[in-house]
Each structure stands twice: as C-alpha cells, then as structure tokens.
C-alpha cells in the first residue's frame, strides 16, 4: 500500500483526501497541518466517510514523523492563499519560504519519492522544489494546467453538446494568465471560429478569479484532478495530464518548469514531446520567458 502525505489540511488538501477516499484509492494517507487542532478535526470528519471505501486509510501526522519521511508520495498544498484580485505569481516569496521550511522539518526523503506541487505559483515552486528535495526531475512535478484543462473540457463539451469526459483537449504553459489552449491537438478545433477560440481561452484563464471572488478559493476541481494524478501513480496507469514539468530541451528550453503533456506512472512523469504549431510555440515561449524573468528576480529561489 502506497503511503501518501498531504501537507496542508485546508480546503485543497482536505478535498484531495476526500476525493481519494471516494475513489477507493489503495493508499495510506497522512494529513499534515501546522494547526494541529484543525488537522485533527479534518481527520475525524474524513474518517466518517471510510465506511464507504474498502482500501483507503487516513491518519494525521507531523512533518518530523518517520511515517512522513518514508512516504512514497508527497502532495504539497500548504501556502498563502491567493486573495481576490491577486495573481498567483505574487505569492512566490511567501510560499517559497514555506516550501523550504517544510523540507527542513521533514529532513531526508526516500530517493524514490514523488513530490507533487499544488501550491501556487505552481510552476515556479515546482522548479524550486526539484532542487530543495534533491530528487530526479521526473519525480518532482506540479499540477500545472491540469485543472485548466479540466475546465476547458466542460466548456468545450457544452459548446459541442458532448460529455466532458468525451473531450480530449488540453491547456499548456503557465498555470496563470499566459496559459493557452493546445488547439492544434484538438480534433474538433475547426468547429470553432477564431473569436470563439479567443473567448474560450480567456474564460479558462480567468475563471479562477471569478471563483475566488465568489467564495474565496478553488478546491473541488483541483481536489479531484490531484486525486486522478495520484490514482495514475498508485495504479501505474500512465494517464496523460498537462502538468508543470521541468524541461530538458523538449520545447527549446532547459531547467524551467511549465505546463506540458506528460504520462504519469509510479516512477513519476515522462514528458510527451508533441509538436506545437508556430502560434502555439510563440505562446509557449512567452509563458516560459515570463517564468524565467520572475525566477531571475527571486532571491529566495536560489539555493
């Protein structure tokens, strides 16, 4: 049974745990939070759902516990929450401090461990995490534009009168304002005009702001998406997601984490080196250069 530690028991972390339980994931989940009383309350609430699953187990833990150090998978959701009107990148300095503090408390992790970043800005934190955790690049990745892609699918499904799970379409680039729809890989792209494509792309980019304005944060979508990624790891399913992965020249860049298509297995991620058309490559370049510019200015990102 795989051991999964979810760091951060707030809205996102607890919804990831809940989605894993509902999927009957064959795993022991440890939930960790800086607020121990809150963590204990979340565990009790989640345990009330265990009667409806056969395989999933859940318990609380501290970062320094041996069960945490020996975890097979770490899911990091802890961090400062994005406020209304605030972009994700503005969270970098505060959340990089939290990420370093987490690793310091855990100490050494298994060489085979997989680390999944959910905390924003996810692309920038993923880039730093691979160095902080001293693991192979394929073992450290972020949820990237997987939520954006899920969001895209239901908008396309409504337009095409289909079910969202029938749509195979993805969003690439930054999990943020420079993301873009991978239209050249979508078989029904010709059914949409240029204006319609631009409208859909803008909705996908900005919908999170609408959710945050209305209720403070997003958690249902990212909770379920992350549980699907975990399912692919635990079951070695090789599912394809658009994830924040460290580049090794696949699209013309090195040592920068950004949203690309990747297969997820029990070994981590394998980037799919699929072709982009000229316009998509241009948008990809813009996204990457935006991340590089921010990283260059980030003193705390330098180890």
Tell me how far apart the alpha carbons of residues 89 and 179 are, in angstroms, rounded to a whole number: 13
Tell me how far apart the alpha carbons of residues 229 and 127 are, in angstroms, rounded to a whole number: 19
Residue environment code for 96-109, b if the CB has 16+ CB neighbours within 10 A, otherwise e: bebbbebbeebeeb
Question: Beta strands 2-7 and 27-32: pairing type?
Answer: parallel
Identify the active-site residue in 15, 22, 155, 175.
175
Please, which residues have CB within 8 angstroms of residue 261's CB and are 6 or more apart in sequence?
A: 170, 172, 182, 240, 241, 242, 243, 271, 272, 274
Cis peptide before 45 (omega within 30 of 0): no
Q: Which two tokens stand for residue 208?
A: 């999170």
Residue with the two structure tokens 């795989």: 2
3-class SS string, 110-176: CCCCEEEECCCCHHHHHHHHHHHCCCCHHHEEECCCHHHHHHHHHHHHHHHCCCHHHCCCCEEECCC
Q: Pick from 99, 142, 1, 132: which is nearest to 59 by CA?
A: 1
Tell me how far apart the alpha carbons of residues 230 and 224 are, in angstroms, rounded to a whole number: 10
Q: Pick from 53, 58, 52: which is nearest to 14 by CA?
A: 58
**Is residue 155 annotated as part of the catalytic site, yes or no?**
no
Active site residues: 175
């Amino acid at each position: 049974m795989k051991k999964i530690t979810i760091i951060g028991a707030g809205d996102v972390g607890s919804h990831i745990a809940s989605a894993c339980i509902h999927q009957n994931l064959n795993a022991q989940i440890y939930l960790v939070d800086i607020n121990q009383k809150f963590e204990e309350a979340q565990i009790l609430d989640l345990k009330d759902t265990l009667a409806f699953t056969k395989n999933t187990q859940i318990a609380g833990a501290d970062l320094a516990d041996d069960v945490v150090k020996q975890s097979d998978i770490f899911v990091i959701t802890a961090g400062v929450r994005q406020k209304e009107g605030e972009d994700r990148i503005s969270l970098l300095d505060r959340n990089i401090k939290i990420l370093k503090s987490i690793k310091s408390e855990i100490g050494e992790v298994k060489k085979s461990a997989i680390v999944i970043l959910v905390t924003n800005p996810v692309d920038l934190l993923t880039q730093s995490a691979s160095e902080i955790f001293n693991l192979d690049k394929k073992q450290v990745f972020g949820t990237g534009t997987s939520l954006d892609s899920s969001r895209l699918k239901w908008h396309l499904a409504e337009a095409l009168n289909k079910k969202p799970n029938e749509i195979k379409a993805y969003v690439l680039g930054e999990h943020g304002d420079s993301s873009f729809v991978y239209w050249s890989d979508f078989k029904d792209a010709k059914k949409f005009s240029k204006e319609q494509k631009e409208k859909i792309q803008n909705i996908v980019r900005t919908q999170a702001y609408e959710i945050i304005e209305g209720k403070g944060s997003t958690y249902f979508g990212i909770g379920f998406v992350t549980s699907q990624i975990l399912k692919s790891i635990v079951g070695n399913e090789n599912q394809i997601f658009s994830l924040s992965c460290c580049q090794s020249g696949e699209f013309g860049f090195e040592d920068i984490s950004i949203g690309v298509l990747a297969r997820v297995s029990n070994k981590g991620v394998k980037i799919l080196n699929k072709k982009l058309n000229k316009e998509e490559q241009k948008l990809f370049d813009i996204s990457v250069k935006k991340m590089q510019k921010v990283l260059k200015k980030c003193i705390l990102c330098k180890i």
